[in-house]
Structure 1
Amino acid sequence: MAASWRLGCDPRVLRYLLGSGGCRRLGLVRGASGWSFGRGASWRWLHSTQWLRVDPIKILMPSLSPTMEEGNIVKWLKKEDDIKVSVNDFIIKAAAVTLKQMPDVNVSWDGEGPKQLPFIDISVAVATDKGLITPIIKDAAAKGIREIADSVKALSKKARDGKLLPEEYQGGSFSISNLGMFGIDEFTAVINPPQACILAVGRFRPVLKLTRDEEGNAQLQRHQLITVTMSSDSRVVDDELATRFLESFKANLENPIRLA
């Protein structure tokens, strides 16, 4: 069984998610228009966007004298790459948070029946010269976005260098496969037994949507669209449960403040 949904958002939301400097807005996406059913189940959503202004991040400096009230930063020691996170990191966090809210999806099939898993460990597919391998982000729901980004970066490097330890890629409770960087719009991934589910993530792509302004004038707005498809073992996660998981996952991903 596979179900998919499409998420539309303004490019400024992407700049926020990707950690671009100077961005002070958070995109909140809501609404749904229509759905269609094919083999399995397929939902198509395209959304309007509201905006919520958020406070800038404060950076505290050590006081160099009892009367010091302000100072100048002469050198930034943290590399720019070290503070960037990707959309994929938010997807991992959103999946982990959703699994925490819906533990019935965080299960496996042990050959005799469903097994409830006490941990939320997300397996992330990484392509290497020797084939595909899935390093694990352990206890992902408890990690922050940047901690997840650091883990993904470190484990991906170890995977490509062939230095992953068995405990770093064996196990896991839920998998994510992202082919967006290869220009793939949407695809269906194969479940990794004994896991029950895998999420297949396509690329962000621009679309135009006809909307109306406050005066009622028609106008075209540019949005970014992403398709995510979930494959699940129906013996463990049936259609109804998979649908509710995707709806909750969609809401969490569209509202990044929930992932804090």
Structure 2
Amino acid sequence: MAAPWRLGWEPWLLRCVLGFGGRRGPAVLKGAAGWSAGRGASRRWLHSTRRLQADPIKILMPSLSPTMEEGNIVKWLKKEGEAVSAGDALCEIETDKAVVTLDASDDGILARIVQMPGVNVSWDGEGPKQLPFVDISVAVATDRGLITPVIKDAAAKGIQEIADSVKALSKKARDGKLLPEEYQGGSFSISNLGMFGIDEFTSVINPPQACILSVGRFRPVLKLAQDEEGNASLQQHQLIKVTMSSDSRAVDDELATRFLESFKANLENPARLI
């Protein structure tokens, strides 16, 4: 069964900004929000203060004790958008032995927290299967029908790299030059009909994937706003709507709602997307 979810917001940018997790390792780091990260994986991204357009640096979880199998994040000590210096404490982690502090290894700015690996799943016939990589299928219309080239390991890429990949793969799809490995697989799909003037629509899930996100067009709306002195005026904003269809066997209503809330928050705060 597919569960559609709709919401509108006023974004500055529309990019591939899906809040998934990355690779998993032998030790698991569990956060208070219910997400998990393996050793060698990242759930916060650190950008260099000197090169904000560069790809994010992954903050890796070290091995905190020889017997450690998992740890719980007790408290985050830095906020998104906050400047960080090498050696600064990022968070407190409870291991099997003690509560220890994870420190930053470089200077930079915490850009965003990635905390929704639960939607990056497939249904294998017996139950949901957590996928180790975030491979995004992007629907492209061609003269020969619809095809979905895949952005491999999207969680490890920066926005510009993702945008360049989408552009290159879309051209190859329309030219009929995609290789099998460039369109097979995928863990989550995106379909965009905004360029055809469609406000909102619902897409059909691509099994065994559990979710597909449908993106409509930008459209101007008037909104009443107040300045610092309390004077009211009408201002024009851009509104866009998305609909997510999800397989409720793998992604229930509560998880789908939290994912869309996180997606909306990312678009409304472009600093997270740099």
Interval containing the TM-score (normalised by the shorter chain): 0.5 to 0.7
Distance in 1 between residues matched to 2:165 and 2:138, nearest whole Å: 11
Letter in 2 for 1:137: I
- Deviation track 1:117-171 (CA, whole Å, cap 9, x = no partner) reads 0000000000000110000000111111111121111111111111111111111
Query: Post-superposition shift, 1:56?
Result: 10
| Aligned equivalents of 1:119, 1:217: Cα separation in 2 | 49
The counterpart of 2:231, out of the listed 201, 207, 217, is 217
Q: What amino acid sits opposite 1:220 in the alignment?
A: L
2:198 matched residue in structure 1: 184
Q: 1:104 is matched with which residue?
A: 118
TM alignment of 1:8-47, pairs within 5 A: 8-9=10-11, 13-14=12-13
Deviation at 1:256, TM superposition (A): 2.3
Contact (CA 8 Å) 2:10, 2:268: kept in 1 or not? no
**Which residue does 1:244 correspond to in 2?**
258
Displacement of 1:111 in angstroms is: 1.2
TM-score (norm. length: structure 1): 0.65
Amino acid across the alignment from 2:163: A
Give the number of the structure whose residues are more often strand, by fraction. 2
Residue in structure 2 matching 1:138, options 146, 149, 152: 152
Unaligned runs of 5+ in 2: 16-48, 54-111
The amino acid across from 1:8 in the alignment is E
Partner of 1:154: 168
Distance 1:58 1:242 in 2: 31
Q: Distance in 1 between matches of 2:229 and 2:269?
A: 28
Say whether 1:127 aligns with 2:141: yes
- Alpha-carbon distance in 1 for matches of 2:172, 2:194: 21
SS in structure 2 opposite 1:155? helix
The residue that corresponds to 1:253 in the other structure is: 267
C-alpha spacing 1:58/1:254, structure 2 compared with 1 (3 Å): closer
Partner of 2:248: 234
Higher helix share: 1
- Residue number among 171, 186, 189 corresponding to 1:172 in the alignment: 186
Partner of 1:193: 207
Query: How many percent of aligned residue pairs carry the same amino acid?
Result: 81
Q: CA deviation at 1:257?
A: 2.1
Normalising by structure 2, what TM-score? 0.62
Secondary structure of the equivalent of 1:101?
A: coil
Give 1:58 shift: 9.6
Could you say which residue in structure 2 is the equivalent of 1:7? 9
**2:198 corresponds to which letter in structure 1?**
I
**What SS is found at the alignment partner of 2:240?**
strand
Moved more, 188-197 or 145-154: 145-154
Q: Please, which moves more after superposition, 223-232 or 160-169?
A: 160-169
Question: Structure 1 stretches of 5 or more lacking a match?
Answer: 19-54, 60-96
Root-mean-square deviation (CA, aligned residues, Å) is 2.3
Rounded to whole Å, the distance in 2 between the matches of 1:184 and 1:231 is: 17
